[in-house]
Amino acid sequence: MKMQPQRLTESAASTLRGLSQEEAAARRAKGLGNTMPVKSSRSYAQIVRENVFNPINDLLYVLGIALVALGRVSDALVSVGVVLLNVAVSVIQEVRAKRVLDQIALLTRPRTTVIRAGQEQSVDPGDIVKGDVLLVRPGDQIVVDGPVLSTERVDVDESLLTGESDLIEKRPGDQLYSGSFCVNGSAFYQAEKVGAQSVAYGLAAGARAFRRVYTPLQREINLVIRVILLVAVFLEFLMVLSALTNTITFVEFVQRSVVIVGIVPIGLILAIAVAYTLGAVRIVRKGALVQQANAIESLSNVDMLCMDKTGTLTTNDLELIAVYPLHGKDEAELRRLLGDFVASGSVGNVTSKAIGASCPGQQRRVKEEIPFSSAHKWSGLAIDDEAMRGSYILGAVEMLQPALSAEEIEQLQPQVEEESEKGLRVLLFAYSPELVALRDDDDRPKLPDGLVALGLVILRDQLRPEARKTLQQFTEAGIHFKVISGDSSQTVAALAKQVGLSDSAGVISGLELAKMGPAEFAQVAEETTIFGRITPQQKEQLLQALRDRGHYVAMIGDGVNDVLSLKKANLGIAMQSGSQATRNAADIVLLKDSFASLPPAFREGQRIRNGMQDILMLFLTRVLAFAILIIEILVIGEFPFVPTQVSILTFLAVGAPALVLAAWAYPGIMEEKRKQQAL
């Protein structure tokens, strides 16, 4: 069901039709388009430049020129030729990988809804022009700056811009900023500042721009290179002393300098960059798009996998199983009221879609609306219509209980528990006969007092067919997992049991967590497997607690309520069908929502890391052997190599084996062979 804000300010009503296609094209031609020059990956020029030119390569080029000037052309050709051969291989591999990744990234680029000639259109953010009217729904990323037009309030999360996680209420005339995202409500807003003119452009662009983030393995390699560089400097110092004392000629000094410079394994930095890029290509072919370079290594380090239930263990679809009327209502009457309720709301979600598919209804006159939120877990409509009058509420039974009488709670509880234990989602539909305010004096959602229960709504999640096998693979691999959901603990536990989770797994609710101190909270986070009725803030706190206890945590989510926890995790994973904000916050996106693509992706990350560790050992062995041999021969007085010999030896003894090691590397953690076998 599409969300359509209806009430507009007088000045906004005339602009709601938006621009025509001709007007939009004219403004784009004038340079008023939302041009975003920031790239998500390195350009071809950057790839070539960073592979061809680096401190060690540059020094070898200079020494090669010196050899040519001294008449040692063959030495120069071999020394520089091997460098250029390695450069060519690296550039070709990385360019091919870039093409594949850029094509996939283009297909998964978020879209935005714009109003053109009175019609909704889904367009690329780059097609927006100044003056366009846009429609934002829950989970949508706000892509340009501009004022709210409709009178409906909308709650946005500006944490990507400000670092503050509190929701910001926006009303007509308030500014929406690019980089924030809609959490509750819906609104039309007008593009006022686009492209580089937007207030948040600098911050948002910086977040999206390509950044070389050094992973733990890269930092280890940098340390090794620095140590070896010190060894090379010491050897070169000995060469300089020999030249100054006329022990060796200038030609011999240049030849030996080429050999000494060649022992510095600067190619390791390029090797790991290429390995990560090629790994990202292999992973995308298995169904997962890598959005951050360090996600490759993060995959290999994960020991705790946290996931939301909806959209992860289950598909993002619900099916209405049954409705149980209360207080003398018959089922037909209850279905009519439910149908009218969801048809009258401006905010649609999977729950309203499932109810609407089985309970057709008519749109009624709405005086006030409270959209569903993961914070309060209910939605409400104050309906002022002859056929249906009162304040109607649909939400989680536990959240509506404070507004019910003790007798009604006692009457509902047995059936609620029975259905929840089957893994079904149970909602309560209730109302107040009077039109009462659904917000308090601080404009926060407020349940009406004295609600009357109309009936229970029973919905069923569809389990992903691959969920059981996938979780079994993770369990056998020694990777622990936790299910963190906004649904009731009983429902989540029942579904977890269906995917093979042990009956002995600990279960706890968000209401219980809220009463705990920090120490007890951290202990429960470690020991409990299933968490129900968890708020987005609690989900974030759970991940932080796990990280504080030394776990390397991955989080899988799809909804806007998962954004905070995805940012808190060491590795954020989103579903392709998830909200724009969730996909943008994630390090990895599962294409086609394929949960089964995770084990191969984890295995690929482990394979790449293990291959790079083998290559590192190979380089170190070669450098140590060369350094010891050179020092021993210096004592004797004869240098063991000429440039031609060392270049060929380096390629045959290190370059070629390194390529083979990278290709033949195995997955799994070396100390835990069972992870290799399980995944």
Residue 221 has a CB neighbour count (10 Å cut-off) of 22
Q: Residue 627: which of 297, 264, 273 has the closest Cα? A: 264
| Beta strand spans in 542-658 (E) | 553-557, 571-575, 588-590
**Amino acid identity of 39?**
K
461 is catalytic: no
Q: Residue 461: which of 307, 347, 349, 309 has the closest Cα? A: 309
Q: Which tokens in the block code for residue 357?
A: 């598919």
Q: Residue 67: which of 52, 57, 77 has the closest Cα? A: 77
Cα distances (angstroms) measured from residue 433 to each of 236, 369, 390, 393, 447? 91, 16, 5, 11, 13
* DSSP assignment of 437-457: -SB-TTS-B-PPSS-EEEEEE
Per DSSP, 373 falls in state -
Query: Pairing relation of β-strands 507-509 and 530-532?
Result: parallel
Q: Which tokens in the block code for residue 615?
A: 């290559």
Residue of 75, 308, 593, 614 marked catalytic: 308
Per DSSP, 129 falls in state B
Q: Which tokens in the block code for residue 39?
A: 């790239």
Identify the three-state secondary structure at position 182: strand
Per DSSP, 2 falls in state -
- Look-up of token digits 């940098």: 222
Hey, CA dihedral for 640, 645, 646, 650, is it positive or negative?
A: negative
Query: Pairing relation of β-strands 366-370 and 378-385?
Result: antiparallel
Q: Residue 264: which of 56, 443, 59 has the closest Cα? A: 56
Question: Is there a contact between 667 and 473 (Cβ–Cβ < 8 Å)?
Answer: no
Please, what's the b/e burial string for 244-274 (b: 16 or more CB within 10 A of its CB; e: otherwise)? eeeebeeeebbbbbbbbbbbbbbbbbbbbbb
Cα distances (angstroms) measured from residue 263 to each of 159, 332, 647, 650, 662? 47, 82, 10, 9, 20
Active site members: 308
